Amino acid sequence: MANRWETVIGLETHVQLRTVSKMFCGCSAAFGAPPNTNVCPVCLGLPGALPVPNELALKLAVRAALGLGCTVHPRSLFARKNYFYPDLPKGYQISQFEQPLATAGSLSYLSPDQGIATATIVRLHVEEDAGKSLHDRFPKQTAIDLNRCGVPLIEIVTGPDFRSPHEARAYLLTLKQVLEYAAISECDMEKGSLRVDANVSVRRAGETALGTKTEVKNINSFAFVEKALTVERDRQIAVLEAGGTVAQQTMLYDSKTNSVRPQRSKEESHDYRYFPDPDLPPLMLSEEFVAEQQTQLPELPAKKRERFVEKYGLSVTDAAVLTAERAVADYYETVVHAGSGADAKLAANWVMTEVLADAKDHGERLRVQPGALAGLISLVRGGTLSHQAAKRVFSEMAEHGGEPRNVAEALGLTQVADTGVVAGWVSEVLGAHPTEVERYRKGETKLLQFFVGQVMKVSRGKADPKLAQRVLEERARSLGDLK
């Protein structure tokens, strides 16, 4: 049924800027303080208090706009968005409406449906957050925490560019990557530092006019983005297939039941009565200021990915994995450039497997120093450690630190490259497997690998496997048989 319908999604993402203090006052913007402790006359909206913009927040907002390829306007306006709600102490939110900070950007991302795709960024503006209403704290009462009130946000609005829920999710993950790279936001949906609302509509395949859209809210985890959008898309299709019409309304997603429900009309504000905030002069940004923010932007993921492919000869997929997080990309490059330089492809394999697996189990910490990993890789290449042994050394270094060679020796894992010793193990193995020796002599040469494996076993992994193979081959050649 879904094939006859096309889904159209646009996203509005609210991102908390990584500042120490709030957007318009000096209060701490930290998450998790006891309720109503990070507050002052300004963010409490006390009579007579006035807002003053936070310069760092403006810098971060401009960096975000530049990172998303937007035009940053030399003059933009703060506006008041008026509505009554108990956790909005001034009765309005300071935001931007006409003349936002930035417009007309784009973000290229890897669409699961169509490969590299481009989302248009319609606008990016600065605003302050509201407080929090807690309805479950006291029975029949609403508690209000105003710590979040006045925390700086940017809102990033895309065009109706996504054709499926997973495409929308792919964009969102790419956006998160960019914002994390540039240290603009922590982008933690669980802590609310990244929030997303979606405009969803469907239309019959081939139609060009947009269907009636609904706004889906309350998607509070990355895991739910796709689910919430799918549920709403399916709901709209079902309504239309049944001959009904989609009502333009706000739908709230409930992750517990994986369903959406219309927001009560009482909860909706129909007219925000936006007007320029007379407490804040037009925001004028000089060319120098904007240029300075450009220099503060790091190499962004897409650029880095291309460079990794070109410079290190990696596949696009591997480069994408390594550049997904800035810390991992930096780690990888440090490994490659450490000491005499590790092999770029070997290093990539190590980082993508051992390092990322270990990080996943340990709070995303990269526990082995990049220099140590580089050393470990060269021990493997030089034949001192088998790959299996190296993995054990890696785990040991992750837990207790240390230099790879010392750790390997302490664990007794250094490979024995002494021909005499290896020859002893070879003799032991041949003596223990007369049947296999007989079969080998009759032409089953592939049994050589079996003997190598047995040598590794009796040496408990310490024999250099290449040396063992050579000794076995020599024994076969010189004696004509293996006896």
Residue with tokens 């795709």: 117
Shortest CB 269 distance to another protein, Å = 11
In whole angstroms, what is the distance from residue 440 CA to residue 425 CA? 18
In whole angstroms, what is the distance from residue 398 CA to residue 367 CA? 5
Q: Cα 21 to the chain's mean position, in Å?
A: 25
In whole angstroms, what is the distance from residue 326 CA to residue 66 CA? 18
Is 74 a binding residue for another protein by CB under 8 A? The answer is no
* Parallel, antiparallel or unpaired: strands 259-262 and 250-254: antiparallel
Shortest CB 92 distance to another protein, Å = 5
Among the candidate windows 170-178, 206-214, 267-275, 368-376, which touches another protein by CB under 8 A?
A: 267-275
Contacts with another protein in 129-148 (CB under 8 A)?
142, 144
How many Cα atoms within 13 Å fall on the side-chain side of residue 398? 20
| Alpha-carbon separation of residue 265 from 14, 39, 40, 245 (angstroms) | 23, 31, 33, 18
Shortest CB 264 distance to another protein, Å = 12
Shortest CB 65 distance to another protein, Å = 21
Tell me whether residue 275 or residue 289 sits nearer to another protein (CB atom): 275
| Alpha-carbon separation of residue 182 from 63, 98, 333 (angstroms) | 8, 27, 18
Tell me whether residue 47 or residue 480 sits nearer to another protein (CB atom): 47
In whole angstroms, what is the distance from residue 23 CA to residue 333 CA? 36
Tell me whether residue 86 or residue 401 sits nearer to another protein (CB atom): 86
In whole angstroms, what is the distance from residue 430 CA to residue 418 CA? 18
Determine which residue in the list 31, 222, 275, 289 makes contact with another protein, applying CB under 8 A.
275
In whole angstroms, what is the distance from residue 386 CA to residue 431 CA? 25
Shortest CB 49 distance to another protein, Å = 7
Is 289 a binding residue for another protein by CB under 8 A? The answer is no
Tell me whether residue 45 or residue 402 sits nearer to another protein (CB atom): 45
Among the candidate windows 84-92, 253-261, 336-344, 466-474, which touches another protein by CB under 8 A?
A: 84-92
Tell me whether residue 75 or residue 381 sits nearer to another protein (CB atom): 75
Please name the helix (run of DSSP H) or strand (run of DSSP E) that holds residue 427, with its range, or none. helix 419-432
Beta bridge partners of 80: 94, 275
Among the candidate windows 41-49, 202-210, 299-307, 405-413, which touches another protein by CB under 8 A?
A: 41-49
Shortest CB 77 distance to another protein, Å = 12
Binding-site size for another protein (CB under 8 A) equals 30
Tell me whether residue 74 or residue 431 sits nearer to another protein (CB atom): 74
Determine which residue in the list 45, 69, 159, 371 makes contact with another protein, applying CB under 8 A.
45
In whole angstroms, what is the distance from residue 269 CA to residue 283 CA? 27
How many Cα atoms within 13 Å fall on the side-chain side of residue 125? 21
Residues 6+ apart with CB under 8 A from 290: 62, 66, 72, 74
Is 284 a binding residue for another protein by CB under 8 A? The answer is no
Tell me whether residue 26 or residue 382 sits nearer to another protein (CB atom): 26
Is 282 a binding residue for another protein by CB under 8 A? The answer is no
Got the DSSP string for 263-282? Answer: PPGGG--S----EE-TTS--
Shortest CB 52 distance to another protein, Å = 5
Is 271 a binding residue for another protein by CB under 8 A? The answer is yes
Shortest CB 15 distance to another protein, Å = 24
For residues 86 to 115, the per-residue mask of contacts with another protein, x marking binding by CB under 8 A and - elsewhere, is x--xxxx-----------------------
Among the candidate windows 43-51, 54-62, 156-164, 424-432, which touches another protein by CB under 8 A?
A: 43-51
Burial profile 125-151: b = 16 or more Cβ within 10 angstroms, e = fewer: bbbbbbbeeeeeeeeeeeebbbbbbbb
Is 273 a binding residue for another protein by CB under 8 A? The answer is yes
| Alpha-carbon separation of residue 200 from 45, 56, 211, 217 (angstroms) | 35, 34, 9, 11
Cα three-residue angle 121-124-130, rounded to 5 degrees: 130
For residues 219 to 258, the per-residue mask of contacts with another protein, x marking binding by CB under 8 A and - elsewhere, is ----------------------------------------
In whole angstroms, what is the distance from residue 303 CA to residue 296 CA? 16
Residues 6+ apart with CB under 8 A from 483: 430, 437
Tell me whether residue 49 or residue 423 sits nearer to another protein (CB atom): 49
Among the candidate windows 2-10, 50-58, 212-220, 382-390, which touches another protein by CB under 8 A?
A: 50-58
For residues 379 to 418, the per-residue mask of contacts with another protein, x marking binding by CB under 8 A and - elsewhere, is ----------------------------------------
Among the candidate windows 78-86, 114-122, 339-347, 378-386, which touches another protein by CB under 8 A?
A: 78-86
Contacts with another protein in 144-173 (CB under 8 A)?
144
* Nearest residue to 195 via CA among 130, 262, 117, 110: 130
Residues contributing to the site for another protein (CB under 8 A) = 41, 44-53, 80, 82, 84, 86, 89-92, 142, 144, 266, 271, 273-275, 278-281
